[in-house]
Amino acid sequence: MAPLHPAARAAWQAALDDGWADPRRLHQEGRAARLLLEGARESIAADLGARTEELVFTGSHTEAVHAAVLGTLRARHRVGRRVVASAVEHSAVLHAGEFVGEPSLIAVDTLGRVDASSFTKTLSETGVALACLQSANGEVGTVQPVAQVHEAARAASVPLLVDEAASAGQTAPAQSWDLLTADPRSWGSPGGLGLLGIRANTRWVSPYPGDEGTERVPGSVSVPAALAAAVSLRTLSSQREASDRLRRDLTARIRSVASSVKDTEVVGDPDERLPHLVTFSCLYVDGEALVDDLDRQGFAVGSGSACTASTLEPSHVLAAMRVLTHGNIRIGLPTDVEPGAVERFCAALPGAVARVRSMLGADDL
């Protein structure tokens, strides 16, 4: 989740005046809202590499994931109920697979990358109705072999759901997918909106009861949120090249400083990764205490699993990677990050780790 982008804020405020009405209504205000909504849909679809008619707005990223998984399994129930996914998928993907299907989780290496050969082999087994693979991991940033897995999924006649919750707006959009989910909050848009892409030739049946005036997902869509998502995504897409270079340099700097701290493990692929994410874990350190120390110095960082951070439970991603899980810190740099702020963080980090270790009586270990 990124700070609200200035372009998203401006679009949101403008749409509050012109897009407040229900876009399903026929009166003038409703028609105006409908035009804004359809314009937002067309813009977002283009930036995500989809056709306009393939993009569905939902109330959240979690709802988009649930709709993708449940709707595909409902449409393909005669094939089976097995869901093949990497062990490091977003919790919404894993929970949906457990709720309605029979999950088959594929192991990842110590960098967090799924074993494509094992994934391919499992796809050919009996009863597989859906495959799920994130474009890149939202916790450690490692890019996944989506194109390779999609080719294998097509050969096995299994649709592939690609979750772009971490990468959309940060990197060029994935092209190899049958179903797609994305979270506008990750590129600085307001909450209350999720994105679901369904290719025209993909079998999918709504898993929800019918609702008058709705298309494929029940409920109304926030027109201001949709417009804000479209404007900010278009803005970031036009600035991606310069932002990518800057943030890769800054995350490399953080990785270097973190790796120099005693008994600290920097995780994720150092090269094939998202430009804005850094994750490392410190031995003999309580993650919550380190988050609090850095917060007092003005640095907002995360700990634990990126998709369930409020629980402060050990990360299922790090556990699947077989790397250090406690004392974990996760940093996501916004597109407008100031290099000076990164340098201040790098200067503060060693002292923060030392203080927490001393507080826990572990400074001499």
Q: Of the candidates 116, 123, 122, 118, which has an alpha carbon nearest to the alpha carbon of residue 143?
A: 116
* Domain-embedded: residue 364: no
190 and 259 fall within a common domain: no
263 and 319 fall within a common domain: yes
Summarize pLDDT for 250-286 with one digit per residue, the tens: 999 999 999 999 999 999 999 999 999 999 999 999 9
Q: What is the CATH number of the domain that holds 317?
A: 3.90.1150.10
* Domain-embedded: residue 81: yes
State how many domains the chain has: 2
* Domain-embedded: residue 183: yes
* Domain-embedded: residue 1: no
pLDDT of residue 213: 53
For 268, the domain range is 240-359
* Domain-embedded: residue 365: no
Q: Of the candidates 91, 160, 96, 85, which has an alpha carbon nearest to the alpha carbon of residue 119?
A: 85
Q: What is the CATH number of the domain that holds 205?
A: 3.40.640.10
Those residues with Cβ within 8 angstroms of residue 315's Cβ, 6 or more apart along the chain or in another chain = 139, 304, 305, 306, 325, 328
Which of 235, 259, 274 delimits the end of a domain?
235
Summarize pLDDT for 112-132 with one digit per residue, the tens: 999 999 999 999 999 999 999
pTM (predicted TM-score):
0.92
120 and 263 fall within a common domain: no
Q: Of the candidates 237, 312, 236, 306, which has an alpha carbon nearest to the alpha carbon of residue 277?
A: 306
Is the pLDDT reported for residue 309 higher than 50?
A: no
Average pLDDT, the chain: 92
* Domain-embedded: residue 36: yes
Summarize pLDDT for 143-159 with one digit per residue, the tens: 999 999 999 999 999 99
266 and 183 fall within a common domain: no
Which of 176, 211, 235 delimits the end of a domain?
235
Rounded CA gap, 196 and 188, in Å? 18
250 and 263 fall within a common domain: yes
pLDDT of residue 214: 57
Those residues with Cβ within 8 angstroms of residue 197's Cβ, 6 or more apart along the chain or in another chain = 45, 48, 50, 54, 55, 56, 177, 179, 180, 181, 182
Q: Of the candidates 224, 257, 172, 198, which has an alpha carbon nearest to the alpha carbon of residue 65?
A: 198
Is the pLDDT reported for residue 360 higher than 50?
A: yes
pLDDT of residue 29: 83
Summarize pLDDT for 169-200 with one digit per residue, the tens: 999 998 999 999 999 999 999 999 999 999 99
pLDDT of residue 308: 44
